[in-house]
Amino acid sequence: MSEQSPAAALDAATLDAADPLRHFRSRFFDPGAQVVAYLDGNSLGRPLRDTAAYLSEFVAGAWGERLIRAWDEQWMEVPFVVGDRLGQVCLGAAPGQTVIADSTSVLIYKLLRAAVAERPDRVEILMARSDFPTDRYLAEGVAAETGRTIRWLEPPLDSGVSVDLVQEALSDRTAVVLLSHIAYRSGYLADAAAITRAAHEAGAVVIWDLCHSAGALPIELDAWGVDYAVGCTYKYLNGGPGSPAFAYVAAAHQATLRNPLTGWMGAADPFDMIAPFAPATGMRRLLTGTPPVLAMQPLIAMLDLVAEAGMPAIRAKSIALTEFAIELTDGLLARLGVTLSSPRDAAVRGSHITIDHPDFREITLALWDHGIIPDFRPPTGIRLGLSPLSTSFAEVEVGITAIHDELSRRA
Protein backbone atom coordinates (compact mmCIF):
# COMPACT_ATOMS: atom_id res chain seq x y z
CA MET A 1 0.00 0.00 0.00
CA SER A 2 1.23 3.47 -0.79
CA GLU A 3 0.01 4.89 2.52
CA GLN A 4 -0.81 3.67 6.00
CA SER A 5 -4.52 3.70 6.79
CA PRO A 6 -6.89 2.41 9.44
CA ALA A 7 -7.72 -0.31 6.94
CA ALA A 8 -4.14 -1.57 7.13
CA ALA A 9 -5.19 -3.41 10.30
CA LEU A 10 -6.84 -5.87 7.94
CA ASP A 11 -3.94 -7.10 5.88
CA ALA A 12 -4.81 -8.59 2.48
CA ALA A 13 -2.08 -11.23 2.66
CA THR A 14 -3.32 -12.44 6.04
CA LEU A 15 -6.92 -12.52 4.84
CA ASP A 16 -5.94 -14.46 1.71
CA ALA A 17 -3.89 -16.94 3.74
CA ALA A 18 -6.85 -17.56 6.06
CA ASP A 19 -9.42 -17.80 3.24
CA PRO A 20 -10.89 -21.33 3.21
CA LEU A 21 -11.80 -20.91 -0.49
CA ARG A 22 -8.35 -19.69 -1.58
CA HIS A 23 -7.48 -22.89 -3.49
CA PHE A 24 -10.45 -22.33 -5.85
CA ARG A 25 -8.61 -19.39 -7.44
CA SER A 26 -6.21 -21.76 -9.17
CA ARG A 27 -9.16 -23.43 -10.94
CA PHE A 28 -9.65 -20.26 -13.02
CA PHE A 29 -7.77 -19.38 -16.20
CA ASP A 30 -4.68 -17.34 -15.42
CA PRO A 31 -4.62 -14.24 -17.64
CA GLY A 32 -0.98 -13.47 -16.74
CA ALA A 33 0.32 -9.92 -16.52
CA GLN A 34 -2.57 -8.60 -18.64
CA VAL A 35 -4.73 -8.50 -15.54
CA VAL A 36 -3.46 -7.10 -12.25
CA ALA A 37 -6.80 -7.03 -10.39
CA TYR A 38 -10.08 -8.25 -11.86
CA LEU A 39 -12.93 -6.53 -10.06
CA ASP A 40 -15.72 -7.01 -12.58
CA GLY A 41 -16.85 -10.59 -12.04
CA ASN A 42 -20.41 -9.30 -11.75
CA SER A 43 -20.36 -8.14 -15.37
CA LEU A 44 -18.42 -11.06 -16.81
CA GLY A 45 -17.07 -13.91 -14.70
CA ARG A 46 -13.66 -15.39 -15.50
CA PRO A 47 -13.34 -18.67 -17.41
CA LEU A 48 -12.38 -21.85 -15.62
CA ARG A 49 -8.95 -23.23 -16.49
CA ASP A 50 -10.61 -26.41 -17.80
CA THR A 51 -13.19 -24.64 -19.98
CA ALA A 52 -11.11 -24.85 -23.16
CA ALA A 53 -10.57 -28.62 -22.76
CA TYR A 54 -14.20 -29.10 -21.84
CA LEU A 55 -15.37 -27.30 -24.99
CA SER A 56 -12.96 -29.14 -27.21
CA GLU A 57 -14.19 -32.48 -25.80
CA PHE A 58 -17.72 -31.39 -26.63
CA VAL A 59 -16.70 -30.58 -30.21
CA ALA A 60 -14.89 -33.88 -30.67
CA GLY A 61 -17.48 -35.97 -28.84
CA ALA A 62 -21.18 -35.20 -28.75
CA TRP A 63 -21.08 -32.70 -31.62
CA GLY A 64 -18.32 -34.15 -33.80
CA GLU A 65 -19.24 -37.82 -33.54
CA ARG A 66 -22.86 -38.04 -32.62
CA LEU A 67 -23.90 -35.07 -34.76
CA ILE A 68 -27.68 -34.72 -35.23
CA ARG A 69 -28.27 -37.92 -33.23
CA ALA A 70 -27.13 -36.09 -30.10
CA TRP A 71 -30.36 -34.06 -30.06
CA ASP A 72 -32.40 -37.20 -29.43
CA GLU A 73 -29.75 -38.83 -27.27
CA GLN A 74 -29.20 -35.93 -24.87
CA TRP A 75 -29.43 -32.34 -26.09
CA MET A 76 -33.23 -31.99 -26.00
CA GLU A 77 -33.01 -32.52 -22.24
CA VAL A 78 -29.92 -30.39 -21.52
CA PRO A 79 -31.86 -27.14 -20.77
CA PHE A 80 -33.82 -28.97 -18.07
CA VAL A 81 -31.02 -31.14 -16.70
CA VAL A 82 -28.73 -28.13 -16.29
CA GLY A 83 -31.66 -26.04 -15.05
CA ASP A 84 -32.42 -28.60 -12.34
CA ARG A 85 -28.77 -28.68 -11.33
CA LEU A 86 -28.70 -24.88 -11.08
CA GLY A 87 -31.95 -25.00 -9.14
CA GLN A 88 -30.50 -27.49 -6.68
CA VAL A 89 -27.04 -25.92 -6.25
CA CYS A 90 -27.93 -22.22 -6.27
CA LEU A 91 -31.64 -21.45 -6.27
CA GLY A 92 -33.37 -23.64 -3.68
CA ALA A 93 -35.62 -24.94 -6.45
CA ALA A 94 -36.94 -28.50 -6.59
CA PRO A 95 -36.54 -30.25 -9.98
CA GLY A 96 -38.83 -29.41 -12.87
CA GLN A 97 -39.00 -25.65 -12.29
CA THR A 98 -35.81 -24.22 -13.84
CA VAL A 99 -34.77 -24.03 -17.48
CA ILE A 100 -31.72 -22.61 -19.26
CA ALA A 101 -32.67 -20.59 -22.33
CA ASP A 102 -32.50 -17.33 -24.26
CA SER A 103 -31.09 -14.23 -22.55
CA THR A 104 -32.29 -12.62 -19.33
CA SER A 105 -33.93 -9.87 -21.38
CA VAL A 106 -35.94 -12.34 -23.48
CA LEU A 107 -36.95 -14.36 -20.43
CA ILE A 108 -38.04 -11.22 -18.57
CA TYR A 109 -40.29 -10.46 -21.52
CA LYS A 110 -41.75 -13.96 -21.56
CA LEU A 111 -42.35 -14.13 -17.81
CA LEU A 112 -43.71 -10.61 -17.54
CA ARG A 113 -46.24 -11.27 -20.30
CA ALA A 114 -47.20 -14.57 -18.65
CA ALA A 115 -47.51 -12.97 -15.21
CA VAL A 116 -49.55 -9.99 -16.43
CA ALA A 117 -51.94 -12.39 -18.18
CA GLU A 118 -52.58 -14.04 -14.80
CA ARG A 119 -54.08 -10.79 -13.47
CA PRO A 120 -56.35 -9.56 -16.29
CA ASP A 121 -58.24 -7.11 -14.05
CA ARG A 122 -55.19 -5.38 -12.58
CA VAL A 123 -53.40 -2.53 -14.30
CA GLU A 124 -50.06 -1.84 -12.58
CA ILE A 125 -46.59 -3.33 -12.87
CA LEU A 126 -44.58 -2.38 -9.79
CA MET A 127 -40.83 -1.91 -10.18
CA ALA A 128 -37.95 0.37 -9.17
CA ARG A 129 -36.57 3.36 -11.05
CA SER A 130 -33.12 2.09 -9.97
CA ASP A 131 -33.59 -1.28 -11.70
CA PHE A 132 -31.26 -2.35 -14.50
CA PRO A 133 -32.22 -0.66 -17.81
CA THR A 134 -33.25 -3.83 -19.65
CA ASP A 135 -35.81 -4.64 -16.93
CA ARG A 136 -37.26 -1.12 -17.15
CA TYR A 137 -37.32 -1.02 -20.93
CA LEU A 138 -38.97 -4.43 -21.18
CA ALA A 139 -41.58 -3.56 -18.57
CA GLU A 140 -42.37 -0.34 -20.43
CA GLY A 141 -42.77 -2.37 -23.61
CA VAL A 142 -45.01 -4.96 -21.97
CA ALA A 143 -47.06 -2.22 -20.31
CA ALA A 144 -47.61 -0.54 -23.70
CA GLU A 145 -48.52 -3.85 -25.36
CA THR A 146 -50.97 -4.91 -22.68
CA GLY A 147 -52.54 -1.60 -21.64
CA ARG A 148 -50.85 -1.52 -18.23
CA THR A 149 -48.97 1.25 -16.42
CA ILE A 150 -45.74 1.13 -14.42
CA ARG A 151 -45.75 2.22 -10.81
CA TRP A 152 -42.19 3.31 -10.07
CA LEU A 153 -40.56 2.89 -6.67
CA GLU A 154 -37.86 5.50 -5.99
CA PRO A 155 -35.32 4.06 -3.53
CA PRO A 156 -32.28 6.15 -2.47
CA LEU A 157 -29.16 5.82 -4.69
CA ASP A 158 -27.11 4.02 -2.03
CA SER A 159 -29.87 1.63 -1.07
CA GLY A 160 -32.71 -0.33 -2.67
CA VAL A 161 -36.22 -1.60 -2.39
CA SER A 162 -37.24 -2.22 1.22
CA VAL A 163 -40.31 -4.18 2.27
CA ASP A 164 -41.90 -0.94 3.52
CA LEU A 165 -41.39 0.81 0.20
CA VAL A 166 -43.07 -2.06 -1.64
CA GLN A 167 -45.86 -2.35 0.89
CA GLU A 168 -46.77 1.33 0.56
CA ALA A 169 -47.12 0.96 -3.20
CA LEU A 170 -49.04 -2.33 -3.34
CA SER A 171 -52.76 -2.17 -3.92
CA ASP A 172 -55.56 -4.04 -5.63
CA ARG A 173 -54.31 -2.42 -8.84
CA THR A 174 -50.96 -4.25 -8.68
CA ALA A 175 -50.76 -7.09 -11.21
CA VAL A 176 -47.05 -7.91 -11.06
CA VAL A 177 -44.05 -6.96 -8.94
CA LEU A 178 -40.77 -7.18 -10.90
CA LEU A 179 -37.67 -6.44 -8.82
CA SER A 180 -33.95 -7.17 -8.62
CA HIS A 181 -32.86 -9.33 -5.73
CA ILE A 182 -29.55 -7.44 -5.70
CA ALA A 183 -29.56 -3.94 -7.20
CA TYR A 184 -27.09 -3.68 -10.06
CA ARG A 185 -25.67 -0.33 -8.91
CA SER A 186 -25.87 -0.10 -5.12
CA GLY A 187 -25.62 -3.82 -4.44
CA TYR A 188 -28.62 -3.59 -2.08
CA LEU A 189 -29.97 -7.03 -1.22
CA ALA A 190 -33.77 -7.03 -1.10
CA ASP A 191 -35.69 -9.18 1.36
CA ALA A 192 -37.14 -11.46 -1.31
CA ALA A 193 -39.08 -13.65 1.12
CA ALA A 194 -40.84 -10.74 2.86
CA ILE A 195 -41.53 -8.82 -0.35
CA THR A 196 -42.93 -11.94 -2.02
CA ARG A 197 -45.19 -12.47 0.99
CA ALA A 198 -46.39 -8.87 0.94
CA ALA A 199 -47.06 -8.99 -2.80
CA HIS A 200 -49.06 -12.20 -2.44
CA GLU A 201 -51.11 -10.70 0.39
CA ALA A 202 -52.01 -7.91 -2.04
CA GLY A 203 -52.91 -10.49 -4.70
CA ALA A 204 -49.96 -9.72 -7.01
CA VAL A 205 -47.60 -12.07 -8.86
CA VAL A 206 -43.84 -11.73 -8.24
CA ILE A 207 -40.87 -11.97 -10.61
CA TRP A 208 -37.33 -11.72 -9.21
CA ASP A 209 -34.32 -10.79 -11.33
CA LEU A 210 -31.49 -12.81 -9.81
CA CYS A 211 -28.70 -11.66 -12.17
CA HIS A 212 -26.51 -10.31 -9.35
CA SER A 213 -27.36 -12.92 -6.76
CA ALA A 214 -27.25 -16.30 -8.54
CA GLY A 215 -23.99 -17.91 -7.47
CA ALA A 216 -23.18 -15.13 -4.99
CA LEU A 217 -25.40 -16.09 -2.07
CA PRO A 218 -27.90 -18.78 -1.06
CA ILE A 219 -31.34 -18.36 -2.65
CA GLU A 220 -34.47 -20.25 -1.55
CA LEU A 221 -37.06 -19.75 -4.28
CA ASP A 222 -39.33 -22.62 -3.21
CA ALA A 223 -39.20 -21.72 0.48
CA TRP A 224 -39.84 -18.03 -0.26
CA GLY A 225 -42.91 -18.93 -2.34
CA VAL A 226 -41.60 -17.06 -5.40
CA ASP A 227 -43.75 -17.26 -8.54
CA TYR A 228 -41.16 -16.53 -11.24
CA ALA A 229 -37.46 -15.72 -11.41
CA VAL A 230 -34.84 -15.04 -14.07
CA GLY A 231 -31.13 -14.46 -14.10
CA CYS A 232 -27.99 -14.63 -16.17
CA THR A 233 -25.21 -17.19 -16.03
CA TYR A 234 -22.23 -15.11 -17.15
CA LYS A 235 -21.62 -13.25 -13.88
CA TYR A 236 -20.99 -15.32 -10.71
CA LEU A 237 -21.79 -18.50 -12.66
CA ASN A 238 -18.94 -17.89 -15.11
CA GLY A 239 -20.83 -19.24 -18.13
CA GLY A 240 -18.99 -16.94 -20.56
CA PRO A 241 -19.98 -13.96 -22.70
CA GLY A 242 -23.59 -14.27 -23.80
CA SER A 243 -24.13 -17.59 -22.04
CA PRO A 244 -27.85 -18.36 -21.86
CA ALA A 245 -30.03 -17.23 -18.97
CA PHE A 246 -32.26 -19.21 -16.64
CA ALA A 247 -35.92 -19.01 -15.71
CA TYR A 248 -37.73 -20.44 -12.72
CA VAL A 249 -41.46 -21.01 -12.83
CA ALA A 250 -43.01 -22.36 -9.63
CA ALA A 251 -44.79 -25.66 -10.26
CA ALA A 252 -48.17 -24.13 -9.39
CA HIS A 253 -47.96 -21.73 -12.38
CA GLN A 254 -46.82 -24.17 -15.03
CA ALA A 255 -50.10 -25.67 -16.21
CA THR A 256 -51.50 -22.25 -17.11
CA LEU A 257 -48.24 -20.57 -18.18
CA ARG A 258 -48.67 -18.75 -21.50
CA ASN A 259 -45.44 -18.19 -23.37
CA PRO A 260 -45.93 -15.15 -25.63
CA LEU A 261 -43.22 -16.39 -28.03
CA THR A 262 -44.62 -19.67 -29.27
CA GLY A 263 -42.01 -21.54 -31.28
CA TRP A 264 -41.58 -25.15 -32.24
CA MET A 265 -39.33 -26.05 -29.27
CA GLY A 266 -42.09 -25.04 -26.86
CA ALA A 267 -44.63 -27.25 -28.62
CA ALA A 268 -45.91 -30.53 -27.21
CA ASP A 269 -44.17 -32.46 -29.99
CA PRO A 270 -41.66 -30.34 -31.92
CA PHE A 271 -41.20 -33.05 -34.52
CA ASP A 272 -44.89 -33.56 -35.28
CA MET A 273 -44.61 -30.62 -37.71
CA ILE A 274 -48.18 -31.00 -38.94
CA ALA A 275 -50.47 -30.47 -35.94
CA PRO A 276 -51.28 -26.87 -34.93
CA PHE A 277 -49.33 -25.43 -32.01
CA ALA A 278 -50.11 -26.97 -28.63
CA PRO A 279 -47.87 -26.07 -25.69
CA ALA A 280 -45.60 -28.67 -24.11
CA THR A 281 -46.17 -29.55 -20.48
CA GLY A 282 -43.81 -28.35 -17.75
CA MET A 283 -40.89 -25.99 -18.32
CA ARG A 284 -40.52 -26.99 -21.97
CA ARG A 285 -43.38 -24.68 -22.87
CA LEU A 286 -41.17 -21.70 -22.03
CA LEU A 287 -38.79 -22.57 -24.87
CA THR A 288 -39.14 -20.91 -28.26
CA GLY A 289 -36.34 -22.00 -30.59
CA THR A 290 -33.37 -24.37 -30.54
CA PRO A 291 -31.69 -24.39 -27.12
CA PRO A 292 -28.10 -22.99 -27.12
CA VAL A 293 -26.54 -26.26 -25.94
CA LEU A 294 -22.97 -25.35 -26.91
CA ALA A 295 -23.18 -22.11 -24.90
CA MET A 296 -24.34 -24.01 -21.79
CA GLN A 297 -21.19 -26.14 -21.51
CA PRO A 298 -19.02 -23.81 -19.37
CA LEU A 299 -21.91 -23.39 -16.92
CA ILE A 300 -22.09 -27.15 -16.37
CA ALA A 301 -18.48 -27.24 -15.14
CA MET A 302 -18.94 -24.13 -13.00
CA LEU A 303 -21.94 -25.59 -11.20
CA ASP A 304 -19.72 -28.46 -10.07
CA LEU A 305 -17.28 -25.93 -8.64
CA VAL A 306 -20.04 -24.01 -6.83
CA ALA A 307 -21.41 -27.26 -5.40
CA GLU A 308 -17.94 -28.21 -4.19
CA ALA A 309 -17.43 -24.87 -2.43
CA GLY A 310 -21.01 -24.66 -1.11
CA MET A 311 -23.20 -21.54 -1.17
CA PRO A 312 -22.82 -20.71 2.57
CA ALA A 313 -19.00 -20.58 2.26
CA ILE A 314 -19.32 -18.52 -0.92
CA ARG A 315 -21.57 -16.02 0.87
CA ALA A 316 -19.17 -15.83 3.84
CA LYS A 317 -16.26 -14.98 1.53
CA SER A 318 -18.41 -12.49 -0.38
CA ILE A 319 -19.21 -10.65 2.85
CA ALA A 320 -15.57 -10.66 3.91
CA LEU A 321 -14.51 -9.24 0.52
CA THR A 322 -17.08 -6.42 0.53
CA GLU A 323 -16.32 -5.60 4.20
CA PHE A 324 -12.65 -5.34 3.30
CA ALA A 325 -13.42 -3.12 0.30
CA ILE A 326 -15.51 -0.80 2.48
CA GLU A 327 -12.80 -0.60 5.16
CA LEU A 328 -10.22 0.31 2.53
CA THR A 329 -12.58 2.86 1.00
CA ASP A 330 -13.11 4.48 4.40
CA GLY A 331 -9.40 4.39 5.20
CA LEU A 332 -7.94 5.50 1.87
CA LEU A 333 -10.56 7.11 -0.33
CA ALA A 334 -13.06 8.96 1.85
CA ARG A 335 -10.67 11.83 2.53
CA LEU A 336 -10.24 12.26 -1.25
CA GLY A 337 -13.96 12.90 -1.65
CA VAL A 338 -15.09 9.37 -2.48
CA THR A 339 -18.47 8.32 -1.12
CA LEU A 340 -19.87 4.85 -0.61
CA SER A 341 -23.10 4.22 -2.52
CA SER A 342 -23.75 0.75 -1.12
CA PRO A 343 -25.21 -0.46 2.17
CA ARG A 344 -22.83 -0.66 5.13
CA ASP A 345 -24.84 -3.48 6.64
CA ALA A 346 -23.64 -6.78 5.14
CA ALA A 347 -27.07 -8.31 5.76
CA VAL A 348 -28.53 -6.10 3.02
CA ARG A 349 -25.56 -6.08 0.67
CA GLY A 350 -24.68 -8.36 -2.24
CA SER A 351 -21.23 -9.12 -3.63
CA HIS A 352 -20.37 -5.75 -5.13
CA ILE A 353 -20.04 -2.19 -3.89
CA THR A 354 -20.25 1.10 -5.73
CA ILE A 355 -18.20 4.14 -4.81
CA ASP A 356 -18.72 7.60 -6.30
CA HIS A 357 -16.46 10.49 -7.27
CA PRO A 358 -16.80 13.06 -10.10
CA ASP A 359 -13.52 11.90 -11.71
CA PHE A 360 -14.33 8.21 -11.84
CA ARG A 361 -15.20 8.02 -15.54
CA GLU A 362 -11.64 9.05 -16.54
CA ILE A 363 -10.06 7.15 -13.68
CA THR A 364 -11.72 3.90 -14.78
CA LEU A 365 -10.10 4.29 -18.22
CA ALA A 366 -6.69 4.84 -16.59
CA LEU A 367 -7.18 1.79 -14.35
CA TRP A 368 -8.11 -0.45 -17.30
CA ASP A 369 -4.90 0.68 -19.04
CA HIS A 370 -2.99 -0.68 -16.06
CA GLY A 371 -4.83 -4.02 -15.91
CA ILE A 372 -6.97 -3.01 -12.94
CA ILE A 373 -10.52 -3.76 -13.99
CA PRO A 374 -13.58 -2.54 -12.12
CA ASP A 375 -16.47 -1.06 -14.11
CA PHE A 376 -17.91 2.40 -14.39
CA ARG A 377 -21.61 3.03 -13.84
CA PRO A 378 -23.07 6.48 -14.54
CA PRO A 379 -23.13 9.13 -13.46
CA THR A 380 -19.96 8.88 -11.33
CA GLY A 381 -19.67 5.36 -9.94
CA ILE A 382 -16.90 2.79 -9.88
CA ARG A 383 -18.39 -0.60 -9.19
CA LEU A 384 -16.22 -3.24 -7.55
CA GLY A 385 -17.61 -6.70 -8.29
CA LEU A 386 -16.08 -9.27 -5.96
CA SER A 387 -16.54 -12.82 -7.14
CA PRO A 388 -16.00 -15.08 -4.12
CA LEU A 389 -14.40 -18.04 -5.88
CA SER A 390 -12.02 -16.05 -8.06
CA THR A 391 -11.31 -12.71 -6.33
CA SER A 392 -8.52 -12.39 -3.77
CA PHE A 393 -8.27 -9.86 -0.96
CA ALA A 394 -4.97 -8.77 -2.54
CA GLU A 395 -6.83 -7.82 -5.74
CA VAL A 396 -9.23 -5.67 -3.72
CA GLU A 397 -6.31 -3.94 -2.01
CA VAL A 398 -4.41 -3.39 -5.26
CA GLY A 399 -7.54 -1.99 -6.93
CA ILE A 400 -8.47 0.44 -4.19
CA THR A 401 -4.86 1.53 -3.70
CA ALA A 402 -4.67 2.27 -7.43
CA ILE A 403 -7.84 4.38 -7.23
CA HIS A 404 -6.27 6.23 -4.30
CA ASP A 405 -3.05 6.83 -6.24
CA GLU A 406 -4.90 8.07 -9.35
CA LEU A 407 -7.05 10.44 -7.30
CA SER A 408 -4.03 11.75 -5.38
CA ARG A 409 -2.12 12.34 -8.62
CA ARG A 410 -4.99 14.43 -9.96
CA ALA A 411 -5.60 16.37 -6.72
Ligand X SMILES: Nc1c(O)cccc1C(=O)C[C@H](N)C(=O)O
What Cα–Cα distance (Å) separates residue 109 from each residue in 116, 128, 247, 286?
11, 17, 11, 11
In the complex with ligand PLP, which residue's Cβ is closer, 143 or 402?
A: 143
**Which of 28, 71, 75, 184 touches ligand X by CB under 6 A?**
184
CB of 211 vs ligand X, minimal distance in Å: 6
Q: Exactly one of 28, 234, 248, 376 is catalytic; name it.
A: 234
Q: Which value, in Å, is the radius of gyration of the alpha carbons in the chain?
A: 22
Rounded distance between C-alpha atoms, residue 111 and residue 257, angstroms: 9
What type of residue sits at position 250? A
Return the sign of the alpha-carbon dihedral for residues 114, 117, 119, 124. positive
CB of 367 vs ligand X, minimal distance in Å: 16
Minimal CB distance to ligand X: which residue?
Answer: 184
CB of 72 vs ligand PLP, minimal distance in Å: 29
Give strand pairing partners of 376: 382
Rounded distance between C-alpha atoms, residue 319 and residue 344, angstroms: 11
Residue 283 neighbours by CB distance under 10 Å: 25
CB of 43 vs ligand PLP, minimal distance in Å: 7
228 catalytic? Reply is: no
Q: Exactly one of 85, 113, 235, 349 is catalytic; name it.
A: 235
In Å, the largest CA–CA distance within the chain is 74
In the complex with ligand PLP, which residue's Cβ is closer, 352 or 404?
A: 352
Rounded distance between C-alpha atoms, residue 349 and residue 345, angstroms: 7
DSSP state of 9: G
Binding stretches for ligand PLP (CB under 6 A): 103-105, 132, 134-135, 180, 184, 209, 211-212, 232, 245
Residue 2 neighbours by CB distance under 10 Å: 10
146 binds, among ligand X, ligand PLP, none (CB under 5 to 8 A by kind): none
**Which of 29, 43, 152, 368 touches ligand X by CB under 6 A?**
43
29 catalytic? Reply is: no
Q: Exactly one of 132, 184, 360, 393 is catalytic; name it.
A: 132
Give the interface with ligand X as residue ranges (CB under 6 A): 43, 132, 184, 211
Which positions are catalytic?
A: 132, 209, 234-235, 383
